[in-house]
Amino acid sequence: MKVEDLILVSVDDHAIEPPNAFARHMPERFKGREPHVVKRGDRDVWVFEEQATGYMGLNSVVGRPKEEYGMEPLGYDQMRRGTWSVADRVDDMNANGVLGSLCFPTFPGFAGQRFQNHPDRAVSLAAIQAYNDWHLHDWCNAAPGRFIPLMLVPWWDMQAAAAEVTRLAKQGVHALSLSDNPAIHGYPSIHSDYWDPLWQACSDNNVVICCHIGTGVKANHASDLSPIDAWITSMPISIANSAADWIWAPMWKKFPNLRMALSEGSIGWIPYLLERADFTHRHHNAWTNSNFGGQMPSDIFHKHFITCFIEDNFGLQNLKFMNEDMVTWESDYPHSDCTWPNSPESAWEGLQHLSKETIDKVTHLNAMREFSFDPFSIHGRENCTVGELRKKATHVKIEPALGLGGADHGRNDGKPVTSGDINAMFEKADAGTAL
């Protein structure tokens, strides 16, 4: 097997919503109230209900030289077109040898957090549904067999959430983005039966609950003087804290067919977490009253948790301590961790020691099965390899684009860029100051 023979399906990418994403799908009674983009100097700012609620360019650095990372784009003309144009995204996927992609939102928040605490629930629900319809019909369905569709739901109404799951599952959507800890946003804990109607709908419709890093528990900046590298290092594995919480959550007993995905976070830390979880259960269950029905916490994880990696040689060397049928690959386009346009080569470094059977599982078969994604029936397996996809992208320019501009992190003295520098950059570029 060679790198050209790989078939890559990414379970964690991101779309920057184009300015007109919501307009066509907002119901008539809310026309004019849909989220939209306004121009403020060189900044394109998303506005919802007269409030600027974040600029869309955060981490859309794909295609820039790494020396210019930290120059966060503030406008569409400062970003690679593949971040927001679906036709250009498919071109970039071909150039990167990537067959399929699951794309999380940007403006709404990875789990739609921006809509969850708005006082007008009716317009918020309309915005969520408009996003879902744009994402399915204008993004995913524009390129059949290339995208795994993902939905958002309202957290304040479980009956409406369950109805949205049912509505979209009938149209082929089998992934849902949810905060890894809704309690942080003022909603009931995942340990509450409040969420049961949603879990039931997901279980009944074969929908995976995707919890992306940053939607709940977040890595903390150690101090303003700490190099930002320290925070970047800890950010992905912050999801480990949430993983422990979900292992002990009650939905797995109630809904044994339910699955969740830890979206981003890699896999190398998993063996120790599971060892510690089993140790905890053995040593403490007599007084904590934890009960897995004769199973161990690791059994729950192996059965219900889908995981993914970008580069994780250690994790791939230790697959025997995981369930290799639940491990998947991700690209993270267009964020700074992505390896575009060399993702196949990057992945191959960690994969090449594995058997072809295992490689096929973690690069595409597991993702296709768990997310009900069948690109082979549309394109034919023989046309889905890295080599064949790249043949379609000879026209795509992959050279880094220089000097696109954006928000400057402010450190030009050769000293380490710190958490304080980055936080100051974000504060200066805050969309709330643009209106």
Would you say residue 428 has pLDDT above 90? no
Q: How buried is 108 (Cβ within 10 angstroms: 0-12 exposed, 13-18 middle, 19+ buried)?
A: buried
Q: Mean pLDDT lowest for which of 98-107, 133-142, 292-301, 409-418?
A: 409-418
Adjacent-strand bridge partners of 46: 37
The Cα 162–Cα 141 span in angstroms is 23
The Cα 264–Cα 309 span in angstroms is 7
Closest CA to 392 of 382, 383, 403, 381: 383
The Cα 256–Cα 35 span in angstroms is 38
Adjacent-strand bridge partners of 52: 47
40 pLDDT tier (thresholds 50, 70, 90): confident
Would you say residue 433 has pLDDT above 80? no
74 pLDDT tier (thresholds 50, 70, 90): confident
* Residue found by looking up tokens 């859309």 in the block: 60
Joined tokens for residue 403? 């000097």
Joined tokens for residue 301? 């994880």
Would you say residue 435 has pLDDT above 70? no
Joined tokens for residue 168? 């979209």
**pTM of the shown model:** 0.96
The Cα 198–Cα 255 span in angstroms is 11
| 3-433 CATH, one of 3.20.20.140, 1.10.3720.10, 3.30.70.20, 1.20.120.530 | 3.20.20.140
The Cα 331–Cα 263 span in angstroms is 11
The Cα 426–Cα 224 span in angstroms is 13
When pLDDT is averaged across residues 364-388 and rounded to a whole number, the result is 98
Query: Rg of the chain's alpha carbons, rounded to an integer?
Result: 21
192 pLDDT tier (thresholds 50, 70, 90): very high
Would you say residue 354 has pLDDT above 70? yes
Backbone torsion region of residue 172, taken as left when φ is above 0, otherwise alpha when ψ lies between -120 and 50, otherwise beta:
left
Nearest-10 Cα torsion for 257, 305, 344, 372: 10
pLDDT: which is higher, 46 or 434: 46
Question: How high does pLDDT run on average in the chain?
Answer: 95
When pLDDT is averaged across residues 345-352 and rounded to a whole number, the result is 97
pLDDT digits (tens, 9 = 90+) for 139-187: 999 999 999 999 999 999 999 999 999 999 999 999 999 999 999 999 9
Residues 254-280 as b/e (b if ≥16 CB within 10 A, e otherwise) read ebeebbbbbbbbbbbbbbebbeebbeb
pLDDT of 82 reads 98
Would you say residue 290 has pLDDT above 90? yes
pLDDT of 432 reads 77
122 phi and psi, to 5 degrees?
-65, -45
